[in-house]
Amino acid sequence: MTENCYDQLNLDSSLVQTQLQDLSESGDHLYDFVAATWSLICEPGDTIAGFLRKQLGSIEALVQVVSGTSSKTLIDMLPSNEFQNQNLQQVLDSSLEVWRSRALQADVFRSLEILRHLGGILITPKSGHWPEQLNDLEHGTPAALWVLGDLDTLLKTQNSVSVVGSRIVSDYGKQVTKDIVEALVRRGKAIVSGGAVGVDALAHEQALQLGTKTVAVMAGGLDRLYPSQNLELFQRIQKSGLLISEVAPGVSPTKWRFLQRNRLIAALSQATVVIEAGVRSGTINTVGHANEIGRPVGAIPGPITSVRSSGCHELIKAGKAQLISLPRDLDDLFGEADYFEKQIKSLSAWEIRALDSIGNSIMAIEEIAKIGGLSRFEAEIALAKLAKHGLVTRTSNGWAKC
């Protein structure tokens, strides 16, 4: 079927080869073209399309869709029916109608040309850069990713954390976002978020300032970056990190696409940390996706009177997120709770006494020295070494544990 697929799709094989020559790392230009086509004819998170691609393969499934095969015949062709839907034929009828309508209008060549003009590349599950953790979305796994920036950043997402939260952020939320990102960077984590104003943008900004990789997942095409006020930030992210979308250039961001974009943020990361979120915010949607695929979630508590933190409090109360009150709580979130234990075993007596003296609050060096029975000189030496270990940090008001 693959050999004459170009003919069945009414495409000129030589034209396809020419236009897609630079887009595929594997040389499988046909597969790239088909993956791009699925991106254009389906909405993000289309599990029916994902089911067909898994059962028949992306190429064969597309051939059957555009050639007019009936839903009943398609179901008969399936090796198995693992999709739990008693009305599969009815649902498939509706999907085929949408896909075929869009296929008549889809200009895949133009989308790929726009991507090349932007300096981007198409990544498919056959690419060596494909983030395997996205496959945890099962039938909701994207057919392809349209990306701008440093491709190696995709591999670093295996050791990343998504930091998300409200678009309207308080001074408290701003400080907490910076502190959490700094703590994550010290632990070697890349930062993933959605590029929105508020917590998202602050997380990206802090990651850039600290020189770590950051990934912004877009809800629309890469030629329609949103929000426009963050364009300068997106340009900086592209230079050292990555901009990602599962929809083709020319596709506008919509409310539904934002909600579906959130599942990619959750799936790309080891864990998700929520900083300030209302009960009905889009951030709660991201948490739902993370819970569904078994990714750990942490939430930062805020003042009990804060509407902006009400969603975080509800998540913690419902057991959908772990409470993060100190940076070291992050290690429990990742299942790396022995991080500090390993560090402490290598500490000197001065360092252990200084660390014990700090407790859970910010303290002046004079107070640390007094409680620990150290001279100021001994305390200064100890704290400097503890800071190198990533166990304490210096603030404007003194020293605090990480």
Domains of the chain and CATH, by start: 5-112 (no CATH), 147-334 (3.40.50.450), 339-401 (1.10.10.10)
Q: What is the pLDDT of residue 25?
A: 42
Q: What is the pLDDT of residue 11?
A: 42
Q: What is the pLDDT of residue 311?
A: 94
Predicted model pTM: 0.78
Q: What is the pLDDT of residue 258?
A: 94
Closest-CA residue to 90 (of 126, 48, 61): 48
Cα pseudo-dihedral 276, 156, 30, 102, rounded to 10: 0
Q: What is the pLDDT of residue 385?
A: 86
Q: What is the pLDDT of residue 343?
A: 58
Cα pseudo-dihedral 380, 381, 386, 392, rounded to 10: 10
Q: What is the pLDDT of residue 248?
A: 95
**ω into 227 cis (within 30 of 0):** yes
Phi, psi of 299, rounded to the nearest 5 degrees: -130, 140
| pLDDT per 10-residue tile (average), the chain, 402 residues | 42 37 50 92 95 92 89 87 71 93 86 94 94 95 97 93 95 94 94 97 97 97 96 97 96 93 96 93 92 93 91 93 88 66 68 84 88 89 86 84 78
Q: What is the pLDDT of residue 396?
A: 75
